[in-house]
A and B are shown apart, each in its own frame.
Chain A
Amino acid sequence: MPPTGVTFKIPARYEYAGSSLEGGQGYVHIYKDTFLQRRVAIKEMKHPGDADTLRDELAKIREIRSRHVVEVYDLFEAKRSDRVALVEEYVPGPTLEDLAKLQPPLSENQAIRILWQIAYGLTDVHAHNIIHRDIKPRNIKQDDERVIKILDFGLSSIMAPGAETVAARGTTHYLAPEMYDTRPIPLSSEIDVYAFGVTVWYFLNRGILPTQLKEVPPQPQSLTRSLQGATTVLPQRITDLLDRTIDRNPSNRPKMESIRDALHEQLTSGQHRLVFHHNGEQQVLSKDNPRVTLKAGKASLKINYDQFNFVVESVEGNVYFNNTKPDIGMGLPKSFVITFGDSSEGPGRTFVPVTVLCPEVVL
């Protein structure tokens, strides 16, 4: 039995799997693709609009090469109307709404891993000059392999120089304050950063938004409490960055890319190792063995691991890193050569090649 809302003749290849959802902009029906023996989501827009524009926009969105954006398999066009339907990868979930309310709650590390993936996906989207425009917990799902997928690009727009909008489309509470300004409103990726920030609040506070964010338009960030007050509290440096995502002034909001990178740093903290050979012996610095003092002749050097970087603590005499005098507090590159002694000493100098082994987060 074809479900309500379907105005198409769905090819016989797809069998209705008995499940439909109504969303803001359309219907989603779960079908089984009998050719590939897998479930798919068939999506139909409520507002037919201009089919060509929609198809162009979809083509643009399909160019996004991101592991965090759902795949589209097929497209049907109705014969007698402008309607279009899409066959997409079916992601069973949970949604971020479900994940926010999990009992027992997710650990800090699991929460950061999820936020990192959302930030990763949005960075990919923005790199293609596309704004999602409807980022919210319900549009973010986790698949069976715990990979986060961003769904529902139905409202998304292409960022072009001077692009503006007259329609404050999106979802209340996730709509940036500037969307309430006099129209036309310039279109930029900061709209998504704001929506991401509110999504973070929802996610870290078990689905409850602070009242200031629920007002229409939302209250300035200065009046909103910090994410330090959420149920799940993340490390200070992350909280400070995330608090800025809901700044009233769009240009004060961080870019998704810097959020992604900061979350990645947090995910890999404490897992780096520094490897070198000195005086014929291999040494490894790590979280459990964070400090070393290296000496050669009159020169000496102290290095300490601060969980994110290996840092120079003190230097005495002629010590060079890749030929440059190190500064105290300087974070070390991932690969370098320490030289003890200066060029006047010629072959009497001591060279210590150093490599920092960095963990790669692979989903």
Chain B
Amino acid sequence: MGNLLDPGQVLLDRYLVESYLNEGGMQQVFAAKDQSFNRHVALKVPKNDSAERRFDRSAHLSARITHPNVAKTLDYFEEGGKSYLVEELIDGIDLGRYLEKCDPLDPHLAAHILHHLARALAASHHANVIHRDLKPSNIIVGNDLAASVVKVTDFGIAKMAEEEITSAVDGGNEDSITASKTAMGALPYMAPEMIEDSKHATVAVDVWAWGALAYRLLSGEPPYGSGLKAVTGIIAAKTPPKPTIWQKNSHFEPLLTELWNIIVSSLNKDPKQRPTANQLAEKCDKLGYIYGPRASGMIETFPVRNWSYGFILGDNKHKVFFHRQSFFGVSDPTVGMKVAYSTFPGSPHVRAFPVVPLN
């Protein structure tokens, strides 16, 4: 589909459209300049009439939540028979795009993101808002490797995707559903009760989605796979297998074990047995992890045979030491591999931890 707005277009005599950013199943997103305040904002436009009805609802839901981890709703208006939603423009990318750079995430970065998400869900549930569609593309992380900013967006917009899935599951009509990217993106994170009957979804569906997302971030795969074939697994809701990558390095073990226990409790088939978002956030408060700026570089050498340590040449040209047990990745580290890391004091070279492969 073509772009719904063109750069240079001015809406409401106030918002100057600057560029197309991205789109989801329901809407296109543009960067615009709010000329009243000389600031940049995100301008969202529904793609069609049926999306427009959801859009109105989603705007009202988002506007009810004020939290540092929820994208701020700034304005909502209609012009020329079309609706527009204005949100704060976050200097960042969606988590799906972050995962294209780095997948899976190491437990430290994942714990940081999941902690902020749990607080966002708690705030949303306090305002009686169910997100219904927590997935990587609805989460925006700061434009730095450390994901210093984490914000949730697109509350309640998922209604339509759910209805598509329910009808596909009921009617076994796979063609209509494979056509919908939105539905496919949402499915791996959808709670069993939502697939069975989306009309009676409660806040617990967000907690399930949090658990499925946590599993996805830490393993590279959603707990029950993707596509329609995930439905059977989700409905059975057996505890998924522990990701094999976790066994590769015992140094990450204590944090992974704590995360695993929270994930398992959120993926409970019975919505009432899952922790509340508040409880989830409190559990995350107790986790500890390494958070802070991350740099990127390339593995340069492994000076010893059966290497126990290696050196990274940072993009800033600094030589950085790393120990074998600081590496977290699916494949073993190799010379020339691009990596992300945080640094700590060391002599004669600073020390990297954790070290995670980048694509």
- Write the residues of chain A forming the contact surface with B, with a CB cutoff of 8 angstroms: 35-38, 58-59, 62-63, 67, 71-75, 89, 143-145, 147, 271-273, 275, 277, 282, 284, 322-324, 333-337, 347, 351, 353, 355-363
In the complex, A75 Cα to B88 Cα: how many Å?
A: 16
Q: In the complex, which residues of chain A have a beta carbon less than 8 angstroms from the beta carbon of B345?
A: 322, 333, 336
Question: Would you give the shortest CB distance from B70 to chain A, in whole angstroms?
Answer: 9
Q: In the complex, which residues of chain B have a beta carbon less than 8 angstroms from the beta carbon of A358?
A: 288-291
Q: In the complex, which residues of chain B have a beta carbon less than 8 angstroms from the beta carbon of A277?
A: 250-251, 325
In the complex, A50 Cα to B59 Cα: how many Å?
A: 36
Task: Decide if the interface of chain A is mainly helix, strand, loop or mixed.
Answer: mixed
Using known A-B contacts A36-B63, A322-B345, A355-B251, determine if residue A362 contacts B72 with beta carbons closer than 8 Å: no
Q: In the complex, which residues of chain B have a beta carbon less than 8 angstroms from the beta carbon of A74?
A: 36, 75
Jot down 10 A-B pairs with beta carbons below 8 A, ordered by A. Answer: A35-B75, A36-B60, A38-B63, A59-B38, A273-B288, A333-B351, A357-B254, A360-B289, A362-B119, A363-B68
Question: Would you give the shortest CB distance from B72 to chain A, in whole angstroms?
Answer: 6
Q: Which residue of B lies closest to A283 (CB)?
A: B254
Pick the contact of B119 from A273, A356, A363 — CB < 8 Å?
A: A363
Pick the contact of B115 from A72, A337, A351, A362 — CB < 8 Å?
A: A362
Say yes or no: A360 contacts B291, CB within 8 Å: yes
Say yes or no: B74 contacts A58, CB within 8 Å: no
B331 in the interface, Cβ–Cβ < 8 Å? Answer: no
Q: Which residue of B lies closest to A67 (CB)?
A: B68
In the complex, A147 Cα to B122 Cα: how many Å?
A: 13
Q: In the complex, which residues of chain B have a beta carbon less than 8 angstroms from the beta carbon of A360?
A: 112, 115, 288-289, 291
Say yes or no: B116 contacts A353, CB within 8 Å: no
- Write the residues of chain B forming the contact surface with A, with a CB cutoff of 8 angstroms: 36-39, 59-60, 63-64, 66-69, 72-77, 88, 112, 115-116, 119, 123, 126-127, 250-251, 253-255, 281, 284-291, 304, 308-309, 321, 323, 325-326, 342, 344-348, 351, 353
Question: Would you give the shortest CB distance from B342 to chain A, in whole angstroms?
Answer: 8
Q: In the complex, which residues of chain B have a beta carbon less than 8 angstroms from the beta carbon of A361?
A: 285
Question: Which of A58, A272, A360 neighbours the largest number of chain B CB atoms within 10 Å of its CB?
Answer: A360
Knowing that A143-B66, A145-B66 are A-B contacts, what are 14 other residue pairs whose CB atoms are under 8 Å apart, sorted by A's residue number?
Answer: A35-B75, A67-B68, A75-B36, A145-B126, A147-B68, A273-B288, A324-B347, A333-B351, A336-B344, A347-B304, A353-B251, A353-B326, A357-B289, A360-B289
Question: Would you give the shortest CB distance from A16 to chain B, in whole angstroms?
Answer: 19
Say yes or no: B251 contacts A323, CB within 8 Å: no
3 A-B pairs with least C-beta separation: A357-B288, A322-B346, A335-B353
Say yes or no: A351 contacts B290, CB within 8 Å: no
Q: In the complex, which residues of chain B have a beta carbon less than 8 angstroms from the beta carbon of A38?
A: 63-64
Say yes or no: B288 contacts A359, CB within 8 Å: yes
Using known A-B contacts A59-B37, A63-B39, A359-B286, determine if residue A71 contacts B72 with beta carbons closer than 8 Å: yes
Pick the contact of B344 from A58, A272, A334 — CB < 8 Å?
A: A334
Say yes or no: A353 contacts B59, CB within 8 Å: no
In the complex, A71 Cα to B289 Cα: how many Å?
A: 31
Pick the contact of A73 from B75, B309, B342, B346 — CB < 8 Å?
A: B75
Q: In the complex, which residues of chain A have a beta carbon less than 8 angstroms from the beta carbon of B285?
A: 359, 361-362
Say yes or no: A351 contacts B323, CB within 8 Å: yes
Say yes or no: B126 contacts A144, CB within 8 Å: yes
Say yes or no: A336 contacts B351, CB within 8 Å: yes
Question: Which of B116, B251, B291 neighbours the largest number of chain A CB atoms within 10 Å of its CB?
Answer: B251
In the complex, A360 Cα to B351 Cα: how many Å?
A: 22
Say yes or no: B119 contacts A35, CB within 8 Å: no
